[in-house]
Amino acid sequence: MMKHLVIGGAGYIGGVCVEKLIERGDAVVVLDHLGTGHRENVHPNAIFIQGEKGDSKLLDKIFSEHKIDTVLDFAGLIQVGESVKKPSKYFQNNFCQGVSLLDSMRRNGVDKIIFSSTAAVFGNPKTVPITEEADKSPINPYGESKYFFELAIKRYAEAYDLKYTIFRYFNACGATIMSKEQHINESHLIPLIFQAVKGERANIAVFGTDYETTDGTCIRDYVHIEDLISAHLAAIKYMEKSFRNEFNLGNGSGYSVKEVINAVEKITGKKVPVVFADRREGDPARLIASSEKAKKELGWSPKYPKIEQIIESAWSAELR
């Protein structure tokens, strides 16, 4: 039986990863400080430890008490706006604590990490769909902090034979039986639309209707959380033969903001209150991932590529 350390395993994406690892028979240790995660989101069969990934003494204790095969790091701050106002917080959490984690792994002979990065490392891409080779030019401290840690991982691989897989996500969404999106200071589109539908917020703001897209609103790539995690499970096996990997994950076919709103109305049977506003500075018209590399090397393919499938699973979780 393999045993993995899932950092951020009380959060949305990390929680689903724990769920699926345990379903397939692996053992899991969860480390989470519960700053943004939820204790009830942790699978009951996982070993839960509350703490920071930058706590070297705690990490040494975990690695000495558990034979960890792979570290899966989902922990990180994700609010772009906050990162601009509080860059120190983001570089400390997303980068500095990450380096401390790598040092703890090295001291204890743990040599495999799967890192949850972000599409924000690409900034405003020059070409779409976005491949792994596209220029990395993050435009905010959030994207920079993630990209700096990517670089640190690669340097540790060169110097210390660290084995790694880096995943860059494009709008993870949807839900499982156990887990759904629930962020403090929610900023993701689908949960925000649900809040508007349920009367928890007055409306949903659409920023910009004059983009060069079919309906004038921004197009983004949405990937179901189960599809996202299936790539992580595949990477654990793949890292037995390939030691330095990076993949973009998305369903490859973007949807506009208006299309997402229309899909929510179709699934819920409710009208979404919408207000139209000016463009937000720095919002590209289209962000779509090329996942061809993941499909070719990992044998990965999204099972839920349609936005209606994603929204239906998320709405069902809202009603439970």
Among this protein's residues, is 142 annotated catalytic?
Answer: yes
DSSP string, the chain: --EEEEETTTSHHHHHHHHHHHHTT-EEEEEE--SSS-GGGS-TTSEEEES-TT-HHHHHHHHHHS--SEEEE------HHHHHH-HHHHIIIIIIHHHHHHHHHHHTT--EEEEEEEGGGG-S-SSSSBPTTS-----SHHHHHHHHHHHHHHHHHHHH--EEEEEEES-EE---SS-----TT---HHHHHHHHHTTSSS-EEEE-S-SSSSSSS-EE--EEHHHHHHHHHHHHHHTTT--EEEEEES-S--EEHHHHHHHHHHHH--PPPEEEEPPPTT--SEE-B--HHHHHHH----S--SHHHHHHHHHHHHH-
Q: Which entry of 12, 142, 147, 304 is annotated as an active-site residue?
A: 142
Catalytic residue numbers read: 142
